Structure 1
């Protein structure tokens, strides 16, 4: 048995905007500075907390600057080796998602690889979501986009004996598929598919209205009912399943084309993912993955009638506090560093005690920049280490304690 206890984002590359914020900082190097200039950058595409600068501008990596001060000219190698030693000392056995490529490539311990489908093809126009609109898997360009995303990653790691498997995408807007499809224009590929499914079943809009309790004037006018009845819930659930299965089958085919031996670890659902989408994932992927930001794992979510017949891995969880100088505790406030430690122990125990769960990965290795990561402004106290590369002793002690229990608890 292997229970994957890991940390996400083992990286030294996270930057914060300094554009139009120069007065916030008592020190900023020039881009030409021979020692620290390499940590200056320019970023674009930020979609939260950067409206004043148009979502783009100059950045700086303060964590990297502290690593240069700590380790000297060979800071990246020394930091990487320190991270490996820390993980093992703290009881972790997995380098988890979004870790630096150099960290993965030189790893002598299990790791996960990841890919993201970001090519230029249609999203569901009527939808939304925190990370953006859901991709339209019925767009003819979708399969090529999947191949373009997956192939480079699978080719790179297929022969690596430490690879556990592949996560593809993260926290997609699965909960928007049904209503977003019905809110989209008539030529939206997924809407065309849904309307065909409904016309094949009901033939006329009057028949559908009678079954759904709606009053659409025609098929183009059909939108998501304010309240679902048994018929509409079943029809839309079937559509979400078919949509989701197409996504997972396309991704798995791309992985298997280049790597027949490692696991497809799913898509990292948020906790509110619709059951139809989760069912489709379980029917195709090797593992179903969730990011669950709660106090502990509720095993009933994965047992009894909720048992999907696939192992579950938790891709993200964390606890934060504001007692050591940070301004935001993250998604689950533990109140203090002691609270973070106790919460970590309780969460990992709850995961280890749940038969379906085969691992949980902490998000993330280092605290986010106190002035916010550049692309969305997150500034959480969620690291095992702070910006000076100093570990939080309470959290380290908790990890050592609970990691030693896992295999006796199973």
Structure 2
């Protein structure tokens, strides 16, 4: 007791009464904060029916995830929480991985420390492309890359033949491998089917998917056959097709041999060609989402299908086709404000809740080039923190939004990762040191988003 009193007196003398008060207040604040959330990170203030798995529900006009224990849940996630970090081709290794190998000695210890930090900063979900070692420690999502594994290429923008039996076979193999073993896991929030597929003209290609399907090989490829069947059914005769498209194709067989169907410069022909392209896009999208849904549900009837992570745009025909096959619509957006009108349309058309699955802010005071990667850089770390608070606060005022996932855990190498990106997206540096100003603001904001979302 005497030793304890001496220690207390020494502590009081060193820090003063103000320091003691601050310390006690901080401890009380942290205790109160942790008391707001359950073991899954759900909000203890409100509870619905517990099913043992994550689900979605509209409560008093506001959409939420519901965690396995029945608590209202906003998915506050971080992408690419990876022990491996970003491999740098110029260096031949991942700087982040080298640093954490030396710091922690094992991936298991890294995972425990990382989840502790994420919880301290108010996050409750492991986002896409993250290490499996984290999945037993915190609610998590899985990105299945179904289209990507069946022939899509994110960088080039190529799209798979969704009408091919091979496509269905690949999806079933993916679901059997990734979904079946997880079907009873309460920590799994759900599955993303893909990331940023190209649904039409964008930065990767000016072409529509109808044009791509015309070029499919071999000549009897199921996707090309589906396209020709679509055009035959719509126009009945090749003469009617030629009139509508402003072409002079002698017969349907010759149409299959065309190398291109260019847009007309203007007028009714251009409108008709665009209408056909969009209507065929709707058919492609419906087949894609239906095939993904059926493969996942065959092997896992319990978990959510979280959408396809649109790359900042979502063509109307695709959105119209997806509603019955997903539980949540996911959208990536690197603007300084949430794309409120787009998110509202996504929700209205599909009748499903939405979430932002990539957003971030990078600062020039980080020492990184920030010349490659989405989003415009801001001057300082304070600007990153300010923009995070502004973005998330606005997002959580939308009654149909159920979460947000930051991109990404660690900074990218200055020399560039596989696609050249070299930006200050991280919550931590390559050394695993936190960007303190940002993470402390995230802690403050993440701790109050449920009240904002509930309109309190």
> So what's the TM-score if we normalise by structure 1?
0.82
C-alpha displacement of 1:270:
1.0
| 1:362-407 residue CA offsets vs partner (Å, 9 max, x unmatched) | 111001122222x323221100000111110121122122212312
- Conserved in 1, the CA contact under 8 Å of 2:139 and 2:188? yes
Q: 1:178 aligned to 2:210?
A: yes
The whole-number CA distance in structure 2 between the counterparts of 1:328 and 1:261 is 41
Of 360-369 and 150-159, deviating more is 150-159
Q: 2:185 aligns with which of 139, 152, 160?
A: 160
Deviations, residues 23-65 of structure 1 (Å, cap 9, x unaligned): xxxxxxxxxxxxxxxxxxxxxxxxxxxxxxxxxxxx3232222
Matches within 5 A, 1:11-30: 11-17=82-88
Cross-structure match for 1:320? 362
**Partner in structure 2 of residue 401 of structure 1:** 444
Distance 2:382 2:210 in 1: 43
Provide structure 2 residue ranges, at least 5 long, that are not aligned to the other structure: 1-71, 201-207
Deviation at 1:68, TM superposition (A): 3.5
Aligned match of 1:191? 224
Over 3 Å counting, the alpha-carbon distance change for 1:384 and 1:119 in structure 2 is closer
- Report the secondary structure of 1:164's partner residue: strand
Q: What does residue 111 of structure 1 align with?
A: 140
Map residues 374-385 of structure 1 onto 2, 5 A cutoff: 375-385=418-428
Alpha carbons of structure 1 residues 274 and 179: separation in structure 2 relative to 1, 3 Å = farther
Aligned to 1:24: none
Residues 205-235 of structure 1 show CA distances to partners (whole Å, capped at 9, x for unaligned) of 2212333455555433471433565443333
Task: Give the CA RMSD over aligned residues.
Answer: 2.4
Deviation, structure 1 residue 17: 4.2
- Highest Rg: 1 or 2? 2
Please say if residues 118 and 145 of structure 1, whose CA atoms lie closer than 8 Å, have aligned partners that are also in contact: no
| Secondary structure, counterpart of 1:268 in structure 2 | coil
Are 2:160 and 1:135 equivalent residues in the alignment?
yes
Deviations 1:124-149 (A, max 9, x none): xxxx8634410110122110011112
Structure 2 residue corresponding to 1:274, chosen from 309, 315, 318: 315
Identify which range, 392-401 or 300-309, moves more after superposition.
300-309
- Asked if the contact 2:79/2:127 (under 8 Å) is kept, the reply is yes
Alignment of 1:283-294 (within 5 A): 283-294=324-335
Alignment of 1:297-376 (within 5 A): 297-303=338-344, 307-308=348-349, 309-328=351-370, 330-332=373-375, 333-373=377-417, 375-376=418-419
Relative to the length of structure 2, the TM-score reads 0.74
- Which shows bigger deviation, 299-308 or 380-389? 299-308
The equivalent position to 2:263 in structure 1, one of 197, 201, 225, is 225
Distance 1:369 1:134, change over 3 A: same
- 1:76 equivalenced with 2:107 (yes/no): yes
**Structure with greater helix percent:** 2
Closer, same or farther in 2 for the Cα pair 1:141/1:304, shift >3 Å? closer
Q: Distance in 1 between matches of 2:148 and 2:340?
A: 37
- What's the offset of the Cα at 1:273? 2.8
Answer with 85-94 or 109-118: which moved more. Answer: 109-118
Structure 1 Cα separation of the partners of residues 75 and 289 of structure 2? 23
Counterpart-to-counterpart distance in 2, 1:407 and 1:117:
33
Cα 1:323/1:119, change in 2 over 3 Å: closer
Quote the offset at 1:117 in angstroms: 2.9
- For 2:370 and 2:174, locate their aligned partners in 1 and report how far apart those are by CA, in whole Å: 33
Q: 2:123 aligns with which of 82, 92, 100?
A: 92
8 Å CA contact 1:300, 1:306 repeated in 2: no
How many Å apart are 1:99 and its aligned residue?
A: 0.9
> Residues 213 and 129 of structure 1: is their aligned pair in 2 closer, same or farther, counting only changes over 3 Å?
farther
Secondary structure (helix, strand or coil) at the match of 1:269 reads coil
8 Å contact from structure 2 (residues 148, 194) kept in 1:
no
Whether the aligned pair in 2 keeps the contact of 1:16 and 1:371 (CA below 8 Å) is no
Q: Which runs of 5+ in 1 are unaligned?
A: 22-58
Answer yes or no: is the 8 Å Cα contact 2:147–2:159 preserved in 1.
no
Task: Count residues with an aligned counterpart.
Answer: 363
